[in-house]
Structure 1
Amino acid sequence: MISAMAAAPQPENEAQRLERLLNLGALDTLPQSAFDDITSLASAICGTPIALVSLVDRERQWFKSRIGMEATETDRTMSFCAHAILQPQQPFVVEDARLDDRFHDNPLVTGQPNIRAYAGAPLVTAEGLALGTLCVIDPRVRQFSPSQLQALQTLAKLVVTLLQHEEARQKEEERRTHEAQVEHERLVAMSTSGLDLKAYISPDYVYLHVNETYLAYWGCTLDEVVGHHVRERLGPDLFDGFIQPRLDRALAGQPVFFQHLHPYTAAGPRHMEVALLPVRDAHGAVIGVVLRSHDIQALKEKEAELGETVALLEHRTREQQRFIHIMSHDLREPINSINNFASLLEADHLQDLPPMGQRYLGYVRMGGLRMVSLLDDLLSYVQLDNQTLKSTRVDLQRLALDVLDDLSSARERTQGQVELQALPAVTGDESLLRLALQNLISNGLKFSRPGVPPVLQVSATETGGFVELSVDDNGIGIPVEHQKSIFEIFQRLHSRKEYEGSGLGLSICRRIAELHGGTLTVQLSTSGGCRFTLHLPTVSHAPL
């Protein structure tokens, strides 16, 4: 039987909306813990088993984050969110979908997930384009309170901010890649086009020979140069005060090298790298000077551009850090309020709540604690760039034993074993190295195969001035195609339902390695899990 349900009409700005959604670059991307934390919080606040960040594409709605829903997308014709984006300035609420002519025969209502109540806050950009919704779904007929709808709208604004932040990060990466390609092509062109300017000058400062490039820069003929005094071509000011003293040193047998902004007639002012090389006869007497000038104008311009780029990147980094700090502190206050009131409710009224209420209260507590953990990790990541290394001699053996003590409860919970081999000493910041090692071992315990207790090996080797500190595990492993992206901030290969985490741990570890002048790499271990290796410089190679 064909459903008689009516699909939502398209918004008037559908073309612009779809173009903005495509340019955002968020469709079909990996799960990210920041979005999962928001959907968890929305589910907890509204007391629903399902919460989604839904992006409404041309023919489908795709879920950037999902709690309580297995499907990653559904057809747009069945989408509640396609109706919600038609009123971008207010939440879209359905209390009983069976009584709504738009949805009563919708397959999502008549079948799984048996939608009854729905509330969606549109994700609206600064241009007023509704890209999708942050929505919550309940299989029970119900109402949503004004405070719940207000919270949903606030969280929807945060989703838009995160989407735009990810878009800016992607565009910055694309810009840098494009600039690198343009620069490569420019350098290739420079190395294959044109020759150095060359001239042969006699001891009495007369041109004996010049090449075609020299003539082209000056815009003159061979007859206008050869046989003429250098002073005629350069002018008295440049020759007497600058060039002649250097020619005299070359004529005395000393090679002379310098850089100079040269006022060529045809080419205009150009930065040149100049060499004046003595020419000797068979007896060693200086009989002239070869002038060789290399055009470094492009290099000088690039140096200036790089200086501006560095300043711009430093400014953007400061602004990004400021944004993350503000976002973290502004969010921490309401999250702390949620956690505090949830604790009071749990302490004083837990027994008064029905089992369903107790479970929803647990959702609130878990969502709030996850958000606090995310904010803490985010601040730790940002603060790494402003932290001064406190380099001392660090005994990795003792450090690893301390970390294992800190993770004793995690080892007991997972029944994990950690085999510790003999580890050397390095020079570094002990607190940062402890954090890196703790994250790597904790990940090995966490990302284990179902039903298989984790087994880890911590070892080290010294090669080429570096200590390679490795953590091997027998866990789920990381596919080769994801082994680079896994170090990016907020990148996760698994949903929060499968494995807890903020998506920041490996980013923090890699940044700690970089601060020590090293790197962090990953490869498949012999047991099918992962082998993470911290490459740390030894004492003689440590950064100052």
Structure 2
Amino acid sequence: MIHAENPINEIERLEALVRYDILDTDPEKEYDDIARIAAHVCNMPVAMVSFIDETRKWYKATFGIASKEMAREIAVCSHTIVYDEEIMVVEDARKDVRFIDSPATQGSTPTIFYAGVKLVDSEGFVLGTICVVDHKPNTINDRQSEILHSLGNQVIKLLEHRRNNILLNKIKQHVKMQYEELEKFTYAVAHDINSPINSIISLAQLLESQPHIDTETRSFASKMIDSGYKLTDYVSSILDYYKSDKLSTHKKEEVSVHSSLKKILALIDPQDSCEFRLLKEDVTIHVRVAALDQILINLIKNAITHCDKKKTFIEVDFNESDSFYTFSIQDNGPGIDLNDQEKIFGFMETLQHRNTSGSGIGLALVKKIVEKEGGTVSVASTPGKGCTFHFTLRK
């Protein structure tokens, strides 16, 4: 018996094998099927999909045997991984100098005939073998050899799919950790910003209330108050954007659309210059109420903020299909150019030619929530004639 030499890149090969995280994993049907097909195509009683680590040949899938592993030093496959040709065939191991007196050729189920193909990944590392075995001398033809090689390619595809999933999960976990850190940072910054802003607003309000200050100072105090509230709204919008991910964990509830809209209008507290037309007949729908509220609040506030008319008209409509609820929010504002209609849903995107200032977060938040609810959001608009936002929520 002659022991096989190690591959010249043995250390790198073993490192590559570890990256696939395949050793000592549970059986999987895809690999079991490949072993079964190999045995049937080659008319052999035994087939194996094996990986070779530093000390052993470990079976990921077997057909015809119950073993899980074998010492590398006596495994025929340890020769296959350093064999020059694509397939190594041993018609009678008892007559091959490499395997004479090998424990593998002894016992009640000896390895007498062997045909094995290397499992080579895209980086050129030989990770293991797919092989067929008989307990008596045998042979395989060119067609069987070709199929065995093709099955080996399928094993590599399964392996690389596994590795890609491992990498993807690591990236997802890393992104999740970064997102959580960013969320904590955002909350901390928001708290640190809001405290001094609220103090500035209070001081400006106190200044504005003084009876003996001149008109210019009063105007200056008023602008400070207005800017302070805009800044707190901006910070709140950022927090809402990051908190929106948690809305999808809420349970769905039955809610009246009329009552939901009235609650939102009371919260927004629009000026008398705003006129609302709500859907004629009330309907009850089954949704995540907090998600619906956030969407409607942002769309209605957006219509009010950007309206360039003396009187703001906002009409809310609703219909449903077998799979979706559909809402429409129509206004009489300045409208949106066709080239800008996709842009407005981007995070921190604002239209520079608008006279009003916005955070560029509200519509991005709407899109994010709607898509998490399995729906879509879009806008139809003619410049100068207002626009209509449509959004759907999956039932």
Give the alignment's TM-score, normalised by structure 2.
Answer: 0.61
Match of 2:240 among 371, 375, 380: 380
Partner residue, 2:259: 398
The alpha-carbon distance between structure 1 residues 228 and 362, as it changes in their structure 2 partners (threshold 3 A), is farther
Partner residue, 1:182: none
Partner residue, 1:360: 220
The alpha-carbon distance between structure 1 residues 449 and 394, as it changes in their structure 2 partners (threshold 3 A), is same
The alpha-carbon distance between structure 1 residues 362 and 445, as it changes in their structure 2 partners (threshold 3 A), is closer
Match of 1:492 among 350, 356, 381: 350
Distance in 1 separating the partners of 2:283 and 2:290 = 17
Partner residue, 1:371: 231
The alpha-carbon distance between structure 1 residues 443 and 264, as it changes in their structure 2 partners (threshold 3 A), is closer
SS of 1:531's equivalent?
strand
- Are 1:218 and 1:264, in contact at CA under 8 Å, matched by a contact in 2? no
How many equivalent residue pairs? 292
Give, as a single letter, the amino acid of the residue that structure 2 aligns with 1:456: I
- Are 1:422 and 1:460, in contact at CA under 8 Å, matched by a contact in 2? no
User: Once the two structures are superposed, what CA deviation does each residue of 1:47-97 show, in whole Å capped at 9, x if it has no partner?
Assistant: xxxxxxxxxxxxxxxxxxxxxxxxxxxxxxxxxxxxxxxxxxxxxxxxxxx
Partner residue, 1:438: 297
Give the alignment's TM-score, normalised by structure 1.
Answer: 0.46
| TM-superposed deviation, 1:536 | 0.5
- What RMSD over aligned residues (CA atoms) do the two structures have, in Å? 4.2
- Are 1:474 and 1:525, in contact at CA under 8 Å, matched by a contact in 2? no
Distance in 1 separating the partners of 2:384 and 2:186 = 39
User: Once the two structures are superposed, what CA deviation does each residue of 1:458-507 show, in whole Å capped at 9, x if it has no partner?
Assistant: 222323511121212232222233223322333221478x2254332222
Matches within 5 A, 1:82-97: none
- Are 1:469 and 1:535, in contact at CA under 8 Å, matched by a contact in 2? yes
Q: Which runs of 5+ in 2 are unaligned?
A: 1-33, 48-79, 111-117, 133-143
SS of 1:503's equivalent?
coil
Distance in 2 separating the partners of 1:237 and 1:521 = 71
| TM-superposed deviation, 1:341 | 1.5
The alpha-carbon distance between structure 1 residues 202 and 515, as it changes in their structure 2 partners (threshold 3 A), is closer
Distance in 2 separating the partners of 1:237 and 1:380 = 69
- Are 2:309 and 2:333, in contact at CA under 8 Å, matched by a contact in 1? no
Give, as a single letter, the amino acid of the residue that structure 2 aligns with 1:425: T
Q: Which runs of 5+ in 1 are unaligned?
A: 1-195, 207-215, 245-261, 277-287, 539-544
| TM-superposed deviation, 1:528 | 4.2
User: Once the two structures are superposed, what CA deviation does each residue of 1:410-444 show, in whole Å capped at 9, x if it has no partner?
Assistant: 3x224x34242446433222233123213212322
The alpha-carbon distance between structure 1 residues 413 and 203, as it changes in their structure 2 partners (threshold 3 A), is same
SS of 1:225's equivalent?
strand
Distance in 1 separating the partners of 2:208 and 2:161 = 67
Distance in 2 separating the partners of 1:443 and 1:309 = 36
The alpha-carbon distance between structure 1 residues 269 and 530, as it changes in their structure 2 partners (threshold 3 A), is farther
The alpha-carbon distance between structure 1 residues 333 and 417, as it changes in their structure 2 partners (threshold 3 A), is closer
Partner residue, 1:468: 326
Partner residue, 1:514: 371
Distance in 1 separating the partners of 2:296 and 2:368 = 13
The alpha-carbon distance between structure 1 residues 389 and 264, as it changes in their structure 2 partners (threshold 3 A), is same
Distance in 1 separating the partners of 2:103 and 2:253 = 58
Distance in 1 separating the partners of 2:181 and 2:347 = 17
The alpha-carbon distance between structure 1 residues 228 and 423, as it changes in their structure 2 partners (threshold 3 A), is farther
| TM-superposed deviation, 1:381 | 2.1
Distance in 1 separating the partners of 2:276 and 2:104 = 77
Partner residue, 2:207: 345
| TM-superposed deviation, 1:270 | 4.4
Partner residue, 1:504: 361
- Are 2:273 and 2:312, in contact at CA under 8 Å, matched by a contact in 1? no
Give, as a single letter, the amino acid of the residue that structure 2 aligns with 1:400: L
Report sequence identity in percent: 21
Match of 1:524 among 353, 356, 381: 381
Distance in 2 separating the partners of 1:485 and 1:205 = 61
